[in-house]
Amino acid sequence: MYIYNIIFNNKLKKLKIIMIIILLNSCNLKDEALCKRVQCEPGKGDAIKKTKDSRTPVLVLLDGFNFSDEYKEAVLYVQKALTNPNVGAQSNKTYTDAEFYDLLVNLGKDRLENCVKVIFLTFRVRKCAVDAIESLKDQANKDKFNTDLAAADADYSGFLKLVGSGATVDQIYDMMINHDDGYKFKDVKDTAHNAFLGEMRQKVS
């Protein structure tokens, strides 16, 4: 009887050990599955990284300067002009994104804000031109004025590229705050608005 008890207790211990091993393996499998699920499921794991990485260094800098969305849009317009090798004369400097970022840093918040205030006056007229074109019903008129707007964009972008080619940051700043080169946008806005009024008169008559 004593021997049977020993054998039974040994078997019981072995069963306990087997059960513990099974439970541990089950937990490891669950942990692996959870890790894979968190890493692979869309919108999880990398969601925070994507949010942090979505802003460019320029946007991070402008956010640090507390620039409004409209001011940021104006700066990005300038960036597009200065970093495009197809804009302006071949002798003009074409910036890399890193060089444009350095230009903003060297200007500093106050001087950059002064530049943007001047640019924004032109940019506001451009937006009015866009709104006037969008209000038109006649597609042929829209196409014509959109072509005129593209030409005005090319002209103003070329001017910005020329300003950005200044020898020093101080020279670039002086040229930028003293410029008034948005008259072509005003021409597009005025003629598009007149065309819109013409369409309205035709509806009434």
Q: What is the tens place of the pLDDT at every residue in 32-89?
A: 443 444 344 444 444 434 445 588 999 999 999 999 999 999 999 999 999 999 999 9
Report the domain count for the chain.
Answer: 1
Tokens coding 186: 């005003």
Give per-residue pLDDT as tens, 53-63: 588 999 999 99
| Dmax (CA) of the chain | 118
Q: Concatenated DSSP letters for 8-50?
A: HHHHHHHHHHHHHHHHHHHHHHHHHHHHHHHHHSTTSSSHHHH
64, part of any domain:
yes
**H-type alpha helices, the chain:** 2-40, 47-53, 57-64, 69-82, 97-134, 139-164, 169-177, 183-204
pTM exceeding 0.75: no
25, part of any domain:
no
152, part of any domain:
yes
Long-range contacts of 17-21 (CB under 8 A, 24+ apart): none
pLDDT of residue 54: 82
CA neighbours within 13 Å on the CB side: how many for 187? 11
**pLDDT, averaged in runs of 10, over the chain (205 residues):** 48 51 48 42 42 80 95 95 94 96 97 94 92 94 95 94 95 91 87 89 75
pLDDT of residue 205: 62
Which residues neighbour 153 within 8 Å (Cβ) at sequence distance 6 or greater?
A: 126
Structural domain containing residue 190: 54-203
| 3-state DSSP assignment of residue 143 | helix
Q: Which of 58, 166, 39, 173 is nearest to 119 (CA)?
A: 173
pLDDT of residue 53: 53
4, part of any domain:
no
98, part of any domain:
yes
47, part of any domain:
no
